[in-house]
Structure 1
Amino acid sequence: MKFRRPQRFRPADSAQQIVGGFLLAGPFVVTEEVWVLAENMSLFHATATICVVAAIGYAALYKADTTRDPDVEREVAGIPIRFISLLCVSFGAVLILALLFDAPDTFLETDQLSADGLLVTFKAVSVGSVFSIVGAATADSIFSK
C-alpha cells in the first residue's frame, strides 16, 4: 500500500478557483431570465440546486480528476479544505457580482432588502452557482498540476 501525503492547499489554489468562478458567474448574474426563474422557484428548488452545485463540485474535484483523493487532503470537520474553498468561491463569486452590478435592484420589482428580495437573490445565487462551480473546479484542476 502506497502512503499518500495530504495535498497542500495553497492560496494559489483559491486564486485559480476565484478566476474560474468569476469567469463563468458573470454572464448569469446579469441575465434577466435567471432572476425571473429565481422568482418562480420554490425554496425546495433552490435547496435542490445547491445540492446539485455541491455534487458537481465534488465530482469535478475528486471523480473527474483521479490524481486527487479526498481522504488524504487536509480537512475541516471531515470536509476537504479544497472543497470548502470551491463552494465558498462559487457562491461568493455569484453573490459579489450580483451586488456589484446591482442586479437585485435592477431585476426585482420588490425592495432588494425585503424578505422577498433577499429570498429571490438567494435563489438567483443558487442558479448562478451551477455555472460558477464548473469554472472554479475546472480552473483548479487545470492549473494545480
Structure 2
Amino acid sequence: MKLKRPSRPRGFRVADSAQQLVGGFLLAGPFVVTEEVWVLAANMSVFHALATVGVVFAIGYATLYKADTNRDPDDEQNVGGIPLRFISLMLVSFGSVVILAALFDAPDTFLRGTESNGAIAVTIFKTVSVGAIFSVVGAATADSVFSQ
C-alpha cells in the first residue's frame, strides 16, 4: 500500500477571479440588453428580487462546493468565515451585470421616462438580480472547469 501525501488546498488567485469574470460577463451580456428582462424586472416585487438574490447565492455555493467534490469551503482562504472564492463569485455575478448595464446605458434606454428616480433604482436592482442568475452560472462554471 502506497501512502499518499495529503494535498494542500490551492490558494485563491487573481487568475481565478479572471476566469469567473469571463464566464460571468459571457452569460450576463444577453440579459442586460434584452427589453423583456427589464420589463419583467419592473413588474417583479422586491420580495421576488430578494428571492432571486437568494437563488444566485444558492447556485453559486452549490456549483463551487457541492457539484465540485474536490473543493471544500473549510479548506479555502476566507474572510469572516466566508470563502474568498465565493465572495469573488458573488462580486463577479452581480458586478458584471451592473457594469454591462452601465456600459450599454441600459437603464436609460429601457426605463426612460417611465418611472421616478427611486423607482428606477429599484428596477435596476431587480434587473441585476435577474441577470445575476445567468452570470453566476457562467462564472461558477468557468471557475470550476478551468481551476482543475
* Normalised-by-shorter TM-score class: over 0.9
Match of 1:86 in 2: 89
Match of 2:136 in 1: 133
> Which of the numbers 26, 40, 45 marks the counterpart of 1:42?
45
* Unaligned runs of at least 5 residues, structure 2: none
Match of 2:126 in 1: 123
State, as a whole percentage, how many aligned pairs show the same letter.
69
Mean CA deviation greater in 131-140 or 111-120: 111-120
CA distance in 1 between partners of 2:123 and 2:40 (Å): 9
Q: TM-score, length-normalised on structure 2? A: 0.92
Aligned length: 144
Q: Is the 8 A contact 1:86 1:136 kept in 2?
A: yes
Cα drift, residue 42 of structure 1: 0.8
CA distance in 2 between partners of 1:53 and 1:16 (Å): 18
Distance 1:113 1:140, change over 3 A: farther
Distance 1:111 1:99, change over 3 A: farther
Match of 1:11 in 2: 14
* Unaligned runs of at least 5 residues, structure 1: none
Rg comparison, structure with higher value: 2
Distance 1:113 1:23, change over 3 A: farther
Alignment of 1:24-63 (within 5 A): 24-63=27-66
Letter in 2 for 1:5: R
Instruction: Give the superposed CA RMSD.
Output: 1.6
> Which of the numbers 80, 102, 105 marks the counterpart of 1:102?
105
CA distance in 2 between partners of 1:56 and 1:62 (Å): 10
CA distance in 1 between partners of 2:36 and 2:104 (Å): 16
CA distance in 1 between partners of 2:64 and 2:39 (Å): 31
Q: TM-score, length-normalised on structure 1? A: 0.94
